[in-house]
Amino acid sequence: MKTIHKFRIESGREPTTLTLREGYRVVRCEYILSDKSVYMWVEQPLGVTVPSVEQHFRVALSGEPVPDDFSYVGTALDPFGPEAWHLFQLPEATTRAKAALGHVAIRTRASGDGRQPIAMS
């Protein structure tokens, strides 16, 4: 079996760290006007034996430079304004380097409201 969970991705230079099940797939990203935030929907297996992985995502505005090794995931548009936010997944090596430098990232897991902090790193 599988399901789709919703996650809020924080804007800014610091990545949002999510704990996802191996085999996950990002199916949508969207700007939610009432929250003024970017959200991402992820399809993932439900099996309790499926291992979890930490993945790191970052939102960038149009025209904002990002490193070449960031992988584009999708774009979220403001339906009533000119803004666009672009969602990128960070490579494993980059996130390890950030952790070694002591950068703070929020780890989250799925919850009813789409985001539940579980630890700071």
pLDDT digit string (tens) for 42-86? 999 998 899 999 999 999 999 999 999 999 999 999 988 889 999
Residue 55: Cβ within 10 Å count? 18
Per-residue model confidence as pLDDT tens digits over 9-38: 998 889 999 999 999 999 999 999 999 999
> Could you tell me the two tokens for 7?
């996650």
* Angle (nearest 5°) at CA 114 between 69 and 64: 30
pTM of the model: 0.74
Residue found under tokens 């390890």: 96
Question: How far is the C-alpha of 23 from the C-alpha of 106, rounded, in Å?
Answer: 22
pLDDT score for 81:
87
pLDDT score, position 120: 37
Which whole-number Å values give the CA distances from 44 to 16, 26, 38, 97, in the listed order?
Answer: 18, 9, 19, 27
Say what the pLDDT of residue 93 is.
56
